[in-house]
């Protein structure tokens, strides 16, 4: 089992806010969901707050207690639609088929939920999708997380394939629960209990059904964003620079302000600037690095106009974007694109 730093805050808090929403909690009632997490309600409600794996599990455990519903995992799985997974969900929805989407989830799950990993294995005409949890879990949490994982899969698969995938076989490691009749509301295919591991058996022909909503340009944009986040996760994830990068990449390009970043880290703007300087960087350098890499990705992998890029990167107008690009690379966007075209020809 992989070593997980239980004290490293790296899990987006939007998942836990969805737990509060599913429970129908008002702001004044959220404190019950945060029992023993050492999180304040104000921290929890901030969009950019990151949770430790231990806090995430504790919130889920508290949610189960407050829900007083053993089937809470099934309900939560339905809440966690693709858009809740940020760039990774956008990548999956833009994928050409289900197989590509599952590979995306396998590769980039660590940037959203480092508690779990996916394994894919082809055998004959089937693809086996296994979910492994990196932390030892009690029976209740294992069952709940298994249900969440399975429902997320079926929601994603139905979006891509265009219909419920009733031919997929779901195998759970836990024993058949007392509320087994409720599974049919969320999982359309055959279900087995007491398996050696949590896994889904998916016919390969289902995996290769073309996604009617596939979009290559969106796919490449999301792929580059996920790759950047994953690279940062593996290099210096405890640094202040990494925390700022993660916040920037979880929002639309260029919109996060230095004040908002400092507030999310529970420090003042001057302290943030001092810490980044000690790491050899600044808020502007981090932002420019992310925006410049996204810009060259658009120029390389799409025929998008410079005006459209400026809008996507949240510049007020294309002239400002062109000036920024010239500052980054000493050439204009059009010159960069022509140079890339001549190198590839």
The tokens describing 329, both together, are 């690379």
Other C-beta atoms closer than 10 Å to the C-beta of 142 total 17
pLDDT digits (tens, 9 = 90+) for 94-127: 999 999 999 999 999 988 888 888 999 998 899 9
Averaged pLDDT score across all residues of the chain: 88
Spatial distance between the Cα atoms of 9 and 23, rounded to a whole number of angstroms: 24
* Among 95-109, 225-239, 263-277, 313-327, the least confident range: 225-239
- Whether pLDDT at 6 is above 90: no
CA distance 276 to 148: 37
Residue 68 has pLDDT above 50, yes or no: yes
**pLDDT at residue 227 tops 60:** yes
Note the pLDDT of residue 210: 96
Q: Which is more confident, 246 or 160?
A: 160
- The residues with which 122 forms a beta bridge, in sequence order, are 127
- Asked whether the CA dihedral 332, 232, 57, 34 is positive or negative, the reply is negative
Q: Is the pLDDT score of 146 beyond 70?
A: yes
Give the range with max mean pLDDT: 35-44, 142-151, 241-250, 268-277.
Answer: 142-151
Whether 344 shows a pLDDT value over 70: the answer reads no
- 55-62 mean pLDDT: 94
Query: CA-CA distance, 25 to 213, in Å (whole number)?
Result: 35
What domains can be seen in the chain, in order of their start residue? 1-68 (1.10.260), 72-215 (no CATH), 239-344 (1.10.10.60)
Q: What is the pTM of this model?
A: 0.72
Asked if 313 contacts 288 with a C-beta cutoff of 8 angstroms, the reply is: no
Measured over the CA atoms of residue 58, residue 59, residue 62 and residue 63, the dihedral's sign is negative
């Amino acid at each position: 089992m992989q070593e997980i730093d239980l004290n490293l805050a790296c899990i987006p808090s939007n998942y836990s806010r969805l737990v509060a929403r599913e429970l129908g909690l008002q702001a004044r009632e959220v404190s019950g969901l945060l029992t023993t997490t050492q999180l304040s309600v104000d921290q929890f409600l901030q969009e950019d707050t990151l949770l430790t794996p231990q806090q995430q599990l504790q919130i889920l455990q508290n949610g189960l207690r407050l829900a007083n519903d053993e089937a809470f995992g099934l309900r939560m799985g339905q809440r966690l639609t693709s858009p809740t997974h940020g760039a990774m969900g956008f990548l999956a929805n833009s994928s050409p088929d289900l197989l590509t989407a599952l590979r995306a989830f396998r590769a980039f799950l660590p940037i959203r939920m480092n508690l779990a990993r996916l394994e894919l294995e082809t055998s004959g005409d089937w693809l086996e999708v296994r979910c492994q949890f990196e932390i030892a879990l009690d029976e209740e949490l294992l069952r709940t997380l298994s249900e969440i994982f399975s429902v997320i899969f079926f929601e994603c698969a139905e979006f891509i394939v265009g219909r419920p995938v009733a031919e997929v076989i779901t195998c759970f490691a836990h024993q058949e629960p007392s509320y087994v009749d409720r599974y049919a509301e969320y999982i359309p295919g055959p279900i087995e209990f007491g398996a050696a591991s949590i896994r889904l058996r998916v016919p390969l022909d289902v995996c290769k059904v073309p996604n009617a909503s596939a979009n290559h340009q969106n796919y490449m944009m999301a792929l580059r964003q996920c790759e950047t986040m994953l690279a940062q996760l593996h290099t210096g994830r405890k640094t202040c620079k990494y925390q700022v990068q993660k916040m920037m990449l979880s929002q639309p390009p260029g919109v996060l302000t230095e004040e908002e970043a400092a507030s999310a880290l529970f420090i003042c703007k001057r302290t943030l600037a001092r810490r980044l300087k000690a790491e050899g960087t600044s808020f502007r350098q981090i932002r420019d690095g992310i925006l410049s890499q996204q810009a060259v990705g658009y120029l390389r992998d799409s025929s998008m106009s410079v005006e459209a890029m400026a809008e996507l990167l949240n510049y007020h107008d294309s002239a400002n974007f062109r000036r920024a690009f010239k500052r980054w690379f000493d050439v204009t966007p059009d010159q960069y694109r022509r140079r890339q075209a001549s190198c590839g020809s």
